[in-house]
Amino acid sequence: MGFAEQRFTVNLSILFTELPLLERPAAAATAGFTAVELWWPWVDSPTPERAELDALRKAIEDAGVRLTGLNFYAGQLPGPDRGALSVPGAESERFRANIDVAAGFARTLGCRSLNALYGNRVDGVDPAEQDALALENLVRAAEAADRNGAVLLIEALNEPESPRYPLVSAPAAVAVVDKVNETSGLGNARFLMDLYHLSMNGEDLPSVIERYAAKTGHVQIADNPGRGAPGTGSLPLEDLLGRLHKAGYDGWVGLEYKAGASPSAEAFGWLPVEQRAAR
């Protein structure tokens, strides 16, 4: 039980980053994968030129891989930002401008998961004001995802690496999921269960799986410590994924770990080639 039952998708925003963006889908395919996911690739632009969107779409299609997940605009990632939708002013407006662009791009590739990072707390702004803005923007994002027949993902990050991000536990993120579903009436918001972030928060992962597997729309993994490939740290990732499978989760598992000093193509030795292609 564990790895053999999963459908894996490679995050091209943290793996294969030694290559230009448009070469990464083909590199993932060469490594044996048939599915990929992405953070919003244009960190400085929520509304890139059509030619840039078309070029990335063509690269994904030509590689013969499936886009299974896409982040909405979230600012500088990797970098200091942790989302934009709860940040008053220009960043929130950039997020809103991105909603239809990101959803439209996802729709052209049959992508059914859109991830909206909440955003950091801002000095001098009442947290309640940020939360109200976040709910308004998350409902807009849920509506756009619904038009695609997609789910809206809401993620908990970890407090040591993201101390100003307010959703740093599974219960906190799931509470927002529930609020968005209640407000929108759509029911398409889901929890993104990132086992690395939750482990960094010191959460009881078997308990999180038992409590929230039914509300989970996507899973991401990296080992801890180090955020490397499975087997480089001490997390029992195969056992945890087996627990998720037993709990009824049959969705994608995103490989969102760092390759380290070696080329990304060498960072998958833990996973037999025959288990990399989605079944």
Per-position DSSP letters for 73-111, written without gaps between them: P-SSTTTT--BSTTSTTHHHHHHHHHHHHHHHHHHHTT-
- What sign for the dihedral angle of Cα 87, 88, 90, 95? positive
Per DSSP, the three-state class of 181 is helix
Q: What is the pLDDT of residue 73?
A: 98
**Mean predicted confidence (pLDDT) in 114-143:** 98
pLDDT for res 173: 98
How far is C-alpha 243 from the geometric centre of its chain's CA atoms?
20
Active site residue 256: yes
Place of tokens 């940040």: 87
Rounded (5°) CA angle 230-205-271: 20
- Catalytic residue from among 37, 91, 203, 256: 256
CATH class for the region spanning 3-272: alpha beta
Which pLDDT does position 177 carry in this prediction?
99
Does the annotation count 161 as an active-site position? no
Tens digit of each residue's pLDDT (9 = 90 or more) over 16-68? 999 999 999 999 999 999 999 999 999 999 999 999 999 999 999 999 999 99
Q: What is the pLDDT of residues 224-246, one digit of tens each?
A: 999 999 999 999 999 999 999 99
Within 217-276, residue ranges assigned H as helices are: 237-246
CA neighbor of 81 nearest in space, from 52, 113, 39, 53: 39
- The string of pLDDT tens digits covering residues 144-163 is 999 999 999 999 999 999 99
Find the mean pLDDT for residues 63-82.
96
Domain boundaries, the chain: 3-272
The pLDDT of residue 5? 87
Query: Does the bond joining 225 to the residue before it have cis omega, within 30 degrees of 0?
Result: yes
> Which is catalytic among the residues 37, 91, 155, 203?
155
Is 1 a residue whose pLDDT tops 60? Answer: no
* Predicted pLDDT at 128: 98
Between CA 37 and CA 194 the distance in angstroms is 14
CA 58, CA 66: separation in Å to the nearest integer? 12
Q: Please give the single-letter amino acid code of residue 233.
A: G
- Beta strand extents in the chain (DSSP E only): 7-11, 35-38, 66-71, 113-115, 151-155, 189-194, 216-221, 252-255
Residue 48 identity: P
CB within 8 Å of 43: residues ≥ 6 apart: 75, 76, 77, 79
